[in-house]
Amino acid sequence: MPGARRALNPRLVGLAVALVLGIAVVGLLSLFFGDDDNPDAANVAPVSATRTTAAPPSSEVVTSPSTTAATTTAAPTTTAAPATTVPLAQVTQNHVFVLGDSVLLGAANEIPAALPGWQVIVDAKVSRFLNQGIEVLQARRAEIGDAGVVVIQQGNNYLGNEQQFREEIDQTMAVLAGVPKVIWLTVSEFTQSRVDVNKEILAAAERYPNIQLADWNGTWLPNRHAFASRDGLHLTRPGAQAMAALIASVVGVPPAAP
């Protein structure tokens, strides 16, 4: 009859059912056992983590005992012996011997007045060079003694030979060996050559520990019009007082009586 439905073939129905069951079984197996043939599966994250992990700081590296002895044992250090210093003799007599040229001669009266309690001898002469001053020190060495103070103002009369002047300073200090305090005044730098004189005086203070400096140039420079006459060198009355005060400040107070 035209309206009747066509009967299904039992064999085709069985094949269809078998196909559906096969697909279902394959899906279940894949779910449970995964894909072991993929070399990148489940490995990307751990490799990246290993590359970005920083090594521990060097201060935290633990060294085995065997390597510690070989690599960390330093050579023994040696401590240098302290330098031996000879203590300077102390001023124990209230004697001050002052040597100078015509510049200091202008303060010959002011210097003793600025040093109360001291026995002061001033030996100054016009146009005196340092080599002539050495002769004075040699002649009066016993009078100077070894326990007082010597003040030297020399170098205004200078012939421009630095080496000679340096050697004469050394000769001066050899004559005064044993004197505990030798005060050298710098000279007024009214010419370039006197800069060289002061350089040698400053260098001598580095060589001789018993030298003390009195910076007359530093005192004179800002006051040169008031402290020096027209030649820029010889002292006015205020300049003489200033030089005496400078010398007294370095000489200091006289030693206490024994």
Mean pLDDT of 132-153: 97
Query: Quick check: is 25 in a domain?
Result: no
Query: Quick check: is 70 in a domain?
Result: no
Whether 221 and 242 have beta carbons less than 8 Å apart is answered as no
Query: Quick check: is 23 in a domain?
Result: no
Residue 236, both tokens:
């006015």
> Coil, strand or helix: which one is 109?
coil
Query: Quick check: is 43 in a domain?
Result: no
What global pTM score does this model have? 0.67
For position 112, which CATH number holds? 3.40.50.1110
Q: What is the DSSP letter of 19?
A: H
- pLDDT digit string, tens, across residues 91-103: 999 999 999 999 9
Instruction: List CB contacts of 177: < 8 A, sequence separation 6 or more.
Output: none
**Size of the chain in residues:** 258
Q: How many domains does the chain have?
A: 1
The domain in which residue 126 lies consists of 95-251
Query: Quick check: is 168 in a domain?
Result: yes
Query: Quick check: is 66 in a domain?
Result: no
Banded pLDDT at 14 (limits 50, 70, 90): low
pLDDT at 8 over 80: no
pLDDT at 136 over 90: yes
